[in-house]
């Protein structure tokens, strides 16, 4: 069991006050329009758009992750596979900002795009991301119905009228054997295409910019094992076939470490944060009991996080959607530095409570509701949401603000602008 986490001091709220020690929050009003700022030089932008003096982007993010108060709350958009925009949101925001730049696809199956430079500058984003490239020796197999097979043997298809690809066939569905695992044509973790150009990109971002550099690590092994086994088979194995479960997880962990080894050797000390995504929770609670997580999943996560820590001083940013409050002590025990996306609409994910109970041991990255407020709220309601999360999570540092997961297609561009404008206004320390 992980060591007990000291309870938050009972005097915490009295010490920092309702708005945080030394924190300045302006009065709420209508969010500013941002439809005419994309191509203006800095001197023509409203004062609130400019970089605040005193800290670089990188210093700001690292101060927050070290639980120190920076000059303002750091902001993220697009540095990871879970903090970007779906393609339709990108297109509508592009049009709203009067920017003509086609989307660069970040992830096919997640249906997300990289934000363009105009967006990043407009919102004073403090982070920039890096990711592995595509392997040289594999190209997705596209079938006549539009479905495709990836290098892991997983087949996905997009239902008519939908944005996302669904899992439709898994290579180990049914009743696979250990021999099936042995014979499977596993991807080459050292394919040269994966890390081509990564070192140069990391060096340039570190040496020629002052942004906090986020390295997207290979995909999560819980996710990948579920995709390869099928969800029903995966949960069945968890209880009834632990031998196959562990054999699959061991193989994936081995491959993950080899891919991560190449990534970390390429980027050296030029990255500040390593992002690892692996969902272990649903909307109403964890996928499994805490006891089962500690027995069946945690040893693998600990192995991966320990490997990262052994190779870099970069912070670990861990993504899991859902109600994960009961697993946060385990994340802290494994050395996770920050939790994303802080899904505030999930059961038990109250930001004030999270900060009080865990805020001295882990940082929070996300927190702005994407299920209700961003898609359906007014700009004023979005601003109020931002202010609330800053009040809850920002005191003492330990908070990087962005949407909960990728910004979805039904989020109006006005609300995206309202979110970041409010963060710049209310996030000053």
In a domain, 109, yes or no: yes
Q: Considering the domain boundaries, does residue 22 fall inside one? A: no
The continuous run of DSSP H or E covering 157 comes out as: strand 155-157
Spatial separation of the C-alpha atoms in residues 367 and 76, rounded to whole Å: 11
Alpha-carbon span 328 to 192, nearest angstrom: 36
Instruction: Give the N- to C-terminal CA distance of the chain in Å, as an integer.
Output: 37
Instruction: Indicate whether 238 belongs to any domain.
Output: yes
Residue 191 is assigned to a structural domain of this protein: yes
Please give the pLDDT value at position 161. Answer: 87
Q: Give me the pLDDT at residue 53, please.
A: 56
Q: For 252-265, give one letter per residue: b (16+ CB within 10 A) or e.
A: bbebbbebbebbbe
φ, ψ dihedrals at 252, nearest 5°: -65, -40
Structure token pair of residue 5: 């986490």
- CATH number assigned to the domain comprising residue 354: 3.20.20.210
Characterise 174 by phi-psi region: left (phi > 0), alpha (psi -120 to 50), beta (else): left
Give the residues of the chain that fall short of pLDDT 50: 1-52
Helix, strand, or coil (residue 213) = strand
Beta bridge partners of 286: 281
**For residue 341, cis peptide bond before it (omega within 30 degrees of 0):** yes
Alpha helices, H only, 19-74: 57-65
CA 343, CA 325: separation in Å to the nearest integer? 10
Q: How many residues does the chain have?
A: 429
Question: Please, which residues bridge with residue 72 across strands?
Answer: 428
Structural domain includes residue 211: yes
Between strands 85-86 and 112-114, the pairing is antiparallel
Query: 396 lies in which domain range?
Result: 37-132+184-215+233-426
pTM over 0.85: yes
In our burial notation (b when 16+ CB lie closer than 10 A, e otherwise), range 325-348 reads bebbbbbbbbebbbbbbbbbebee
What strands lie across the sheet with 338-340, from one edge to the other?
A: 127-130, 212-216, 273-277, 315-319, 338-340, 363-368, 399-403
Q: What is the C-alpha separation between 74 and 62, in angstroms, rounded?
A: 9
Q: Which residues of 166-202 are buried (b: 16+ CB within 10 A; e: fewer)?
A: ebeebbbeeebeeeebeebeebbbebeebbeebbebb
CB-count burial class (<10 Å; 0-12, 13-18, 19+) for 250: middle
Strand partners, 274: 215, 316
Q: Is residue 338 part of a domain?
A: yes
* Dist. CA 407–CA 163, nearest whole Å: 13
Residues 344, 348, 349: CA angle, nearest 5 degrees: 30
**Cβ neighbourhood burial of 56 (10 Å; 0-12, 13-18, 19+):** middle
Residue 246, in any domain of the structure: yes
The residue among 59, 83, 88, 179 whose CA lies nearest residue 131 is 83
In 3D space, the residue among 85, 115, 83 whose CA is nearest the CA of residue 317 turns out to be 83
Bridge-based pairing of strands 155-157 and 166-169 is: antiparallel
Angle separating helix axes 87-96 and 413-426, nearest 10 degrees: 80
Between CA 406 and CA 419 the distance in angstroms is 14
219-234: per-residue pLDDT in tens? 999 999 999 999 999 9
Residue indicated by tokens 């004023």: 380
Residue bearing tokens 């005191």 = 395
**Residue 142 falls within a domain, yes or no?**
no
Overall number of domains in the chain: 1
In this predicted model, what pLDDT tens digit does every residue of 264-279 receive, in sequence order?
A: 999 999 999 999 999 9
Angle at 279 between CA 64 and CA 65, to 5 degrees: 5
Task: Report CA 400 to chain centroid distance, whole Å.
Answer: 11
């Amino acid at each position: 069991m992980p060591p007990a986490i000291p309870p938050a001091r009972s005097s915490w709220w009295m010490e920092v006050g309702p708005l945080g020690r030394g924190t300045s929050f302006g009065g709420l009003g209508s969010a500013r329009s941002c439809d005419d700022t994309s191509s203006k030089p800095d001197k023509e932008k409203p004062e609130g758009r400019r970089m605040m003096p005193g800290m670089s982007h990188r210093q700001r993010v690292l101060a927050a992750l070290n639980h120190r108060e920076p000059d303002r709350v750091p902001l993220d958009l697009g540095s990871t596979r879970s903090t970007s925009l779906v393609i339709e949101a990108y297109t509508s925001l592009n049009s709203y900002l009067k920017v003509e730049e086609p989307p660069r696809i970040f992830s096919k199956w997640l249906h997300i795009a990289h934000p363009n430079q105009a967006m990043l500058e407009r919102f004073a984003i403090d982070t920039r991301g890096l990711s592995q490239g595509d392997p040289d020796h594999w190209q997705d197999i596209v079938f006549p119905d539009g479905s495709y097979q990836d290098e892991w043997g997983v087949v996905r298809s997009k239902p008519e009228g939908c944005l996302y690809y669904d899992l439709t066939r898994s290579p180990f569905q049914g009743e696979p054997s250990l021999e099936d695992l042995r014979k499977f044509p596993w991807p080459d973790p050292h394919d040269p295409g994966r890390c081509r150009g990564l070192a140069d990109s990391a060096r340039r971002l570190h040496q020629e910019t002052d942004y906090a550099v986020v390295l997207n690590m290979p995909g999560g092994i819980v996710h990948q094992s579920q995709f390869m086994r099928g969800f029903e088979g995966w949960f069945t194995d968890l209880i009834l076939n632990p031998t196959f479960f562990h054999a699959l997880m061991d193989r994936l962990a081995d491959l993950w470490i080899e891919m991560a080894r190449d990534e970390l050797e390429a980027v050296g000390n030029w990255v500040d944060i390593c992002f690892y995504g692996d969902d272990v929770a649903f909307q109403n609670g964890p996928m499994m009991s805490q006891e089962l997580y500690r027995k069946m999943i945690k040893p693998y996560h600990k192995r991966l996080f320990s490997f990262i820590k052994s190779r870099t001083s970069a912070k670990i940013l861990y993504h899991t959607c859902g109600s994960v409050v009961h697993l946060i002590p385990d994340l802290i025990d494994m050395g996770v530095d920050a939790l994303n996306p802080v899904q505030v609409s999930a059961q038990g994910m109250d930001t004030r409570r999270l900060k009080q109970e865990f805020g001295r041991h882990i940082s929070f990255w996300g927190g702005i509701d994407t299920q209700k407020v961003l898609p359906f709220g007014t700009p004023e309601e979005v601003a109020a949401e931002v202010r609330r999360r800053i009040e809850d999570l920002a005191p003492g540092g330990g908070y990087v603000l962005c949407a909960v997961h990728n910004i979805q297609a039904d989020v109006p561009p006005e609300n995206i602008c309202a979110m970041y404008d409010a963060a710049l206004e209310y996030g000053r320390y």
